[in-house]
Amino acid sequence: MAAPSPGPHEVLTPSPEAGHRAATSSSGRRGLLWRLRHKQSRLGLFEIGPGHELHQLTCMMQAGLWAATQVSMDHPPTGLPTEEDFSEVLTQVHEGFELGTLAGPAFARLRRSLGLAEEDYQAALGPGGPYLQFLSTSKSEASFFLSHDQRFFLKTLRRREVRALLAHLPRYVQHLQRHPHSLLARLLGVHSLRVARGKKKYFIIMQSVFYPTSRISERYDIKGCEVSRWVEPAPEGSPLVLVLKDLNFQGKTINLGPQRSWLLRQMELDTAFLRELNVLDYSLLMAFQRLHEDEQGPSSGLIFRTARSMRGVQSLEEPEAQNRRLLPDTPNALHILDGPEQRYFLGLVDLATVYGLRKRLEHLWKTLRYPGRTFSTVSPTRYARRLCQWVEAHTE
C-alpha cells in the first residue's frame, strides 16, 4: 500500500527569532548538524543548549514546528475528515531551511481528539526551552529528542519508514477510534527538514510514554526475544537514564491485580492490528513507579476517572468491544496502568517496520546465525503472538 503523494504547496514563513539565529550560520555545517548520535558512549538526557553541536539544528526544528503549529491554529480542519487530510504536504520556507508538514490536517484532528490544545503543543515544541537529547540503548541509527518538559518525543526516521507510517495512517486513526484506550503510541506529527539545499531528513513527534518522569524508577524496552536484549545497568546511584531490555527483566513480574485481564486483551487487539499491517520489530515500553500509600486502592477520583475514560472520538463499537477501562486522574493517563502497589507506564512504539524483502532476508540470516535462539526479525504473526505470550508470562 503506497502513501498518497499529491502536489505539495509551499509558503514563505517568518520564523521566531530563535529560528533566524539558527539558520544564519547553518549552511556550512548541515552535514554535521544532522549527525544526531553523540560521539561519546554516554547514555542519558542532555540539554541541547548553546555550544552543543546540535543546538542550531534543534533551534531550526523548534522554529519550524512553531510556525507549522500556527498554521493548524489559524486554519483548523473543519467538517468530516477527507482523503486530502492524510495526503497534504505543506512546505514552509524559513531563512536557511525548509520544514515540511506531512498529513497536517489529519494529525491536527488526532491531537484534538486527544484533548491536546494546539497552544500547549506549540509551547512545548517551539523555542520556549531547549530540547533534551536522549541517547538510546537501541541499535538503530535513529536519534531521539525530548521536548523541554519531556512530554513529547521526537525521533528521526528513514524515508521508507515515513512512507509506511503515512500509508497506514488512516487505518491507525480508525484503530484509535475503535479502541480509544489502545496501547499504541500516539503519533502527533510527521515532518521533513531540509537545511539550505541539503538532503531532506524526516522525524516524527509522539506523546512520550514515560511521562510524568519525576518518580519513575525503572524503564524497559521489551520485544519478547533474547538476542541483543541485554543492557549493562548503570552503577548504583548513577544519574544516567537507561532503558533496559528483555534479559534485564528476568525474574521480575508486573503485578496488575484486576487490571491484568484488560492488559492482555488490549495487547491482543493492538498486536492483531499491527499484524494486519504486516508490521514487526515494535517494542512494548514499560516503566515502574511505586505508588504512595494514599495513592493505592480505590479513591475519590473514581467518578472523575470514569468520565475521563469516556472522552475521545465517537465510535459505533460497543464499549465491551472497545475494551475501555477506568483511566487514572493523571497526565498521560492512556499510557498509565495502576496495580495494587506500582504504577506502570506502558506503550507500543516503533510502528514503521514492514516485513518486506529486506526483513525476510534478515530473518533467514539470523536463523543461520542464531540457531535455537529467539531474535526480533520474525514474521508479524509470530512476532505478535510471542510478545503477547511474554506479557502473559510476566504479569499477575
pLDDT tens profile 45-56: 889 999 998 899
> Is 236 within the bounds of a domain?
yes
Where does the pLDDT of residue 229 fall: very low under 50, low under 70, confident under 90, or very high at 90 and above? very high
The pLDDT of residue 277 is 98
In terms of phi and psi (left: phi > 0; alpha: psi -120 to 50; beta: otherwise), the region of 281 is left
Decide which of 180, 207, 234 is a domain's last residue. Answer: 207
Query: Hey, which residues does 187 pair with through a beta bridge?
Result: 206
State the CB neighbour count (10 A cutoff) for residue 28: 9
Shared domain for 200 and 224, answered yes or no, is no
> Is 135 within the bounds of a domain?
yes
> Is 304 within the bounds of a domain?
no
Q: Which CATH number characterizes residue 202's domain?
A: 3.30.800.10
pLDDT higher than 50, residue 319: yes
Name which of 9-18, 38-47, 83-92 the model is least confident about: 38-47
> Is 240 within the bounds of a domain?
yes
136: exposed, middle or buried (C-beta count within 10 Å: 0-12, 13-18, 19+)?
A: middle
Q: Which domain holds residue 292?
A: 216-296+333-394
The pLDDT of residue 143 is 80
Compute the C-alpha angle 280/102/22, nearest 5°: 110
Shared domain for 246 and 102, answered yes or no, is no
Shared domain for 66 and 145, answered yes or no, is yes
The pLDDT of residue 29 is 41
Q: Which CATH number characterizes residue 371's domain?
A: 3.30.810.10
pLDDT higher than 90, residue 256: yes
pLDDT tens, residue by residue, 215-224: 999 999 999 9
- Contact between residue 203 and residue 154 where contact means Cβ atoms under 8 Å apart: yes
239: exposed, middle or buried (C-beta count within 10 Å: 0-12, 13-18, 19+)?
A: exposed
Whole-model pTM: value is 0.86
> Is 307 within the bounds of a domain?
no
Where does the pLDDT of residue 124 fall: very low under 50, low under 70, confident under 90, or very high at 90 and above? very high
pLDDT higher than 90, residue 297: no
> Is 55 within the bounds of a domain?
yes
pLDDT tens, residue by residue, 31-44: 444 343 333 333 46
> Is 324 within the bounds of a domain?
no
Shared domain for 98 and 199, answered yes or no, is yes
Shared domain for 257 and 141, answered yes or no, is no
The pLDDT of residue 296 is 83
User: Whole-number mean pLDDT of the chain?
Assistant: 86
Decide which of 154, 176, 207 is a domain's last residue. Answer: 207
Where does the pLDDT of residue 16 fall: very low under 50, low under 70, confident under 90, or very high at 90 and above? low
Query: d(Cα 187, Cα 349) in Å, to the nearest integer?
Result: 10
Where does the pLDDT of residue 148 fall: very low under 50, low under 70, confident under 90, or very high at 90 and above? very high
pLDDT higher than 80, residue 79: yes
Shared domain for 251 and 195, answered yes or no, is no
The pLDDT of residue 320 is 73
The pLDDT of residue 240 is 79
pLDDT tens, residue by residue, 351-393: 999 999 999 999 999 999 999 999 999 999 999 999 999 999 9
Q: What cell does 5 get?
A: 503523494
Shared domain for 77 and 115, answered yes or no, is yes
The pLDDT of residue 300 is 35
Shared domain for 52 and 179, answered yes or no, is yes
3-state secondary structure of 33: helix
- Contact between residue 329 and residue 298 where contact means Cβ atoms under 8 Å apart: no
pLDDT higher than 50, residue 308: no
Shared domain for 233 and 147, answered yes or no, is no
387, containing H or E segment? helix 380-393
The pLDDT of residue 259 is 95
Contact residues for 8 (Cβ-Cβ < 8 A; gap 6+): 89, 90, 91, 100
Provide the domain count of the chain: 2
